[in-house]
């Protein structure tokens, strides 16, 4: 079985170019905001001196003419998920390895695509226009990734039957090992993967510990990391044609409620909820409106989802009487789990004392007392016990 690496270089920038066609041909830097001015996430290919992760200040100092764009990671993630959905139509065994990198198992695909070029064509067709695609085919993820990195856009490069030969001139800086090990390799004068593969594994392990054997295997083009296929995204779509077109919010909400009940009747047996839904309406004039709603934790009941739609409808004017409405459940999820306390009794006692203390502070004095023995041996009854505040 071979693995096909699908690399979408400058993915974040390509996503931004889709949204802002005006950026085409102009140098741009996409940065992730953070402490200080942020870090470079992606940049135009012509800005050779930049590197991902570099401070934005440094990037601006080098290329002051470049336009800076704050990264919209959820948008990039969503676009990438859509691309993975498309790729899963070519092969169900697809793993997303960060935005812009995916791995596909070719298991069984040789019957559908006897030639590599036909498979590469199918993959390229699955990726929307506007994204550059580089493909690499090898027996493992790492050699496939390197093959993709060193292929030309649109090309599918294979490591062949001897991946070691393909990798021998690739610099050791490409190895997915710690920076310390990379620096140590450079200090030993081992600059290419071919040189690293020539070192006996025992000698490598003696110098680099467990990473030594990893370096040896990767340099020889052996990567046994399994492919972890992503579960296919399930999308449920329901629509409702109204008997007579209406602009009344109440009627539209009733329609959405019916659709939600239909969707939740499918989700309930699986103990799944709704984490994202796209709702749309089509007016009598033919104009369509669409909105997406997201749930922080999946909505497990139709009522919860309907409440959100009801809030949305207040600020979502319709162009006219609506004749068709629909919901597309694009994100399904399971209810969130809660970690149980290791010391539940201690925790609950602490929590109770905290609440009692708050009550005392609010009401200005102790409110709850406990019975305490003072002189249980005393012959005088009022000396035997007292009531002390519970929080003391």
Instruction: Select the residue interacting with another protein from 371, 375, 376, 377 (CB under 8 A).
Output: 371
Contact 234, 267 (CB under 8 A): no
Which of residues 340 and 371 has its CB atom nearest to another protein in the complex? 371
Strands 156-158 and 134-138: parallel
Which of residues 343 and 380 has its CB atom nearest to another protein in the complex? 380
How many other β-carbons are positioned within 10 Å of the β-carbon of residue 366?
A: 16
User: How many chain residues touch another protein (CB under 8 A)?
Assistant: 19
Per-residue x/- marks for another protein, 135-174, CB under 8 A? ----------------------------------------
**Helix residue ranges per DSSP H, 223-248:** none
| Residue 380 contacts another protein per CB under 8 A | yes
Instruction: Select the residue interacting with another protein from 153, 154, 225, 369 (CB under 8 A).
Output: 369
- Minimum distance of another protein from residue 351's CB (angstroms): 13
Q: What is the DSSP letter of 173?
A: G
Q: Is 280 helix (H, G, I), strand (E, B) or coil?
A: strand
Using the rule CB under 8 A, give the single segment among 6-14, 164-172, 205-213, 358-366 that binds another protein: 358-366
Q: Is 352 helix (H, G, I), strand (E, B) or coil?
A: helix
Per-residue CA distances from 51 to 17, 30, 47, 56, 186 (Å): 20, 11, 9, 10, 20
Using the rule CB under 8 A, give the single segment among 259-267, 272-280, 339-347, 382-390 that binds another protein: 382-390
| Residue 351 contacts another protein per CB under 8 A | no
What are the beta bridge partners of residue 333?
Answer: 273
Which of residues 250 and 354 has its CB atom nearest to another protein in the complex? 354
Which pair of structure tokens corresponds to residue 193? 């993967």
CA dist., res. 88 & res. 96, Å (int): 11
Using the rule CB under 8 A, give the single segment among 178-186, 293-301, 318-326, 361-369 that binds another protein: 361-369
Which of residues 115 and 377 has its CB atom nearest to another protein in the complex? 377
Contact 371, 378 (CB under 8 A): no
List residues near another protein by CB under 8 A: 357-358, 361-362, 365-366, 369, 371, 379-382, 384-389, 392
């Amino acid at each position: 079985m071979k693995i096909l690496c699908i690399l979408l270089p400058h993915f974040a920038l390509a996503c931004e170019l889709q949204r802002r066609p005006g950026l085409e041909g102009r140098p741009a830097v996409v940065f992730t905001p953070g402490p200080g001015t942020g870090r470079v996430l992606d940049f135009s290919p012509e800005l050779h001196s930049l590197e991902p992760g570099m401070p934005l200040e440094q990037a601006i100092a080098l290329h002051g003419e470049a336009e800076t764009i704050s990264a919209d990671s959820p948008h990039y993630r969503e676009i990438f998920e859509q691309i993975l959905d498309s790729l899963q139509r070519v092969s169900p065994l697809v793993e997303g390895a960060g935005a812009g990198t995916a791995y596909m198992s070719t298991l069984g695909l040789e019957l559908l695509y006897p030639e590599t070029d036909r498979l590469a064509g199918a993959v390229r067709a699955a990726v929307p226009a506007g994204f550059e695609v580089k493909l690499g085919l090898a027996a493992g993820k790492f050699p496939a990734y390197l093959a993709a990195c060193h292929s030309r856009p649109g090309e599918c490069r294979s490591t062949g039957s001897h991946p070691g030969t393909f990798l021998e001139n690739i610099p050791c800086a490409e190895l997915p090992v710690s920076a310390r090990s990379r620096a140590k390799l450079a200090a030993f004068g081992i600059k290419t993967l071919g040189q690293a593969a020539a070192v006996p594994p025992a000698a490598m392990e003696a110098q680099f510990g467990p990473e030594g054997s990893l370096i040896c295997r990767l340099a020889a083009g052996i990567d046994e990391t399994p492919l972890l296929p992503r579960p296919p995204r399930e999308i449920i779509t329901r629509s409702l044609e109204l008997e007579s077109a209406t602009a009344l919010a109440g009627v539209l909400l009733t329609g959405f409620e019916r659709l939600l009940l239909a969707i939740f009747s499918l989700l309930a047996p699986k103990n799944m909820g709704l984490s994202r839904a796209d709702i749309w309406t089509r007016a009598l004039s033919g104009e369509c409106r669409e909105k997406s709603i997201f749930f922080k934790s999946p909505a497990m009941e139709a009522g919860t989802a309907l409440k959100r739609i009801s809030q949305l409808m207040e600020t979502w004017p319709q162009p006219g009487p609506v004749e068709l409405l629909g919901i597309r459940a694009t994100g399904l999820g399971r209810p969130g789990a809660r970690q149980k306390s290791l010391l539940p009794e201690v925790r609950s006692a602490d929590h109770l004392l905290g609440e009692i203390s708050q009550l005392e502070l609010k009401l200005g004095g102790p409110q709850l007392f406990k019975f305490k023995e003072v002189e249980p041996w005393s012959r005088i009854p009022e000396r035997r016990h007292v009531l002390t505040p519970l929080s003391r």
